[in-house]
Amino acid sequence: MNSWVELSESRLAANYRALAEMAGVEVMAVIKADAYGHGAPACAPALARAGARWLGVADVAEGVAVLASLAGVEPRPRILIMSGLLPEDAPAIVEHDFAPVVWTLPQLESLAVTVSRAGAAPLGVHLEIDSGMSRQGVAPGPEFDGILAWLVAHPQLTLEGLMTHFASAEIAGSPQTTLQRERFEQACRAVAASGLRPAWVHAGNTSTIDNGAEADPMAWLARVARTLSARPMVRSGIGLYGYSLPIERAPGFSGPVAARVHDRLQPVMTWKTRVMALSDVAPGEAVGYNGAFIAQRAMRLALLPVGYSDGLRRSLSATNGSTGGWVLINGQRANIVGRISMNLTVVDVTGLSGVNVGDEAVLLGDGITADDHASIAGTISYEILCGVRARQRLA
């Protein structure tokens, strides 16, 4: 891989602290998908040092890698396995004392059997309520009541957390969020009636903290947590890395849509490569596959050893009719020309001063953000960041 990612530990820590300050409640640092492409083993200790007591990963394999990275870190954050579990995951979850998100009886049964067999201490689990996203979780109702009764009867597992996830957190005045809150409160009432007392109640993401429709977006969560004598927590991922979704207005909503924390977040990732070669082309020469770009004048081109296999989206390609993405070489903008190849990309350095073979080219960072790539590629910053495949190092 001929590109690398430099991670700013100071920005990562500052972003975490800004989010925690704005939230005013515990913030779980979400480092699933290899910390959104930043490298979870690099980010986890940095976030723990910044004060994170909870880390969220996608699966057991990520949890094991993150745990290894935390050797010697005190206090060691607890690790939430967020994206469900397969039956074969239970032994590793119990062995490492990970906190799994659960919502079905078979999940609970496989964990309880594993705890019993291992003679292990009770395992803390987090029960996800499907409050209206129809993705993960159990909706309030008879099935949910059955799970609560099962938990009361099985001391191998303790209900450590009760959680839900919002589908439209970045929409100010979202009626979907209002409905989800109501259903989650309904679930909390059932938990209260069961006698179970989770230590944590958690909901929401970066956009929940950022959404300025309410003066204190965490007030609702804090109130709901109090009804169970639990502590409130919000889970933030994208904000840690310096990005957030734009806050949008729900139809008919006339209140504020200001972003509360967006302006304080700074990109953590700088993705770089080096100029591999320079060449001059005459007017009329084709550049790249299918001659999608024809030089209209004499041009000086720089070849970069990265392409779509590294996560540089092919939709950043440029033809004569449409400009695409750009990179920064010595702080100067160099437009991509022609089609991005699997491992190679050509950029226009005509007229740029002092560009030499071996110079660094910034693919993502200050001056060219994941939001820029996302708007050209028709996606969101999340997908751009997760797609970067490069060596990572803290800087």
Ligand X SMILES: *Cc1c(COP(=O)(O)O)cnc(C)c1O
Residue tagged active-site, from 16, 36, 241, 289: 289
Residue placing its CB nearer to ligand X in the complex, 235 or 272: 235
Residue tagged active-site, from 32, 272, 308, 382: 32
Residue 206 interacts with ligand X (CB under 6 A): yes or no = yes
Those residues whose C-beta lies under 8 Å from the C-beta of residue 314, and which sit 6 or more positions away, are 308, 339, 340
Report which of 175, 173, 170 is spatially closest to residue 253, judged by C-alpha positions: 173
Side chain identity at residue 363, one-letter code: L
Q: Other CB atoms closer than 10 Å to residue 182's CB: what's the count? A: 12
Residue 131 interacts with ligand X (CB under 6 A): yes or no = no
Q: Other CB atoms closer than 10 Å to residue 23's CB: what's the count? A: 25
- Helix (H/G/I), strand (E/B), else coil: 187: helix
User: Has 289 been annotated as catalytic?
Assistant: yes
Residue window 165-204: x/- pattern of binding to ligand X, with contact defined by CB under 6 A: x---------------------------------------
Residue placing its CB nearer to ligand X in the complex, 238 or 376: 238
Chain residue at closest Cβ approach to ligand X:
237
Which long-range CB contacts under 8 A does 190-197 form with residues at least 24 apart? 190/140, 190/144, 190/145, 190/148, 191/148, 191/159, 191/162, 191/228, 192/227, 192/228, 194/145, 194/148, 194/149, 194/151, 194/152, 195/152, 196/148, 196/151, 196/152, 196/159, 197/159, 197/228, 197/229, 197/230
Residue 238 interacts with ligand X (CB under 6 A): yes or no = yes
Residue 79 interacts with ligand X (CB under 6 A): yes or no = no
User: Has 32 been annotated as catalytic?
Assistant: yes
Residue window 313-352: x/- pattern of binding to ligand X, with contact defined by CB under 6 A: ----------------------------------------
Size of the site for ligand X (CB under 6 A): 12
111 neighbors 120 (Cβ within 8 angstroms): no
Residue window 356-385: x/- pattern of binding to ligand X, with contact defined by CB under 6 A: ------------------------------
Of 45, 237, 338, 365, the one binding ligand X (CB under 6 A) is 237
Which amino acids are annotated catalytic?
32, 289
Residues lying near ligand X in the complex (CB under 6 A) are found at 30, 32, 82, 165, 205-207, 235-239
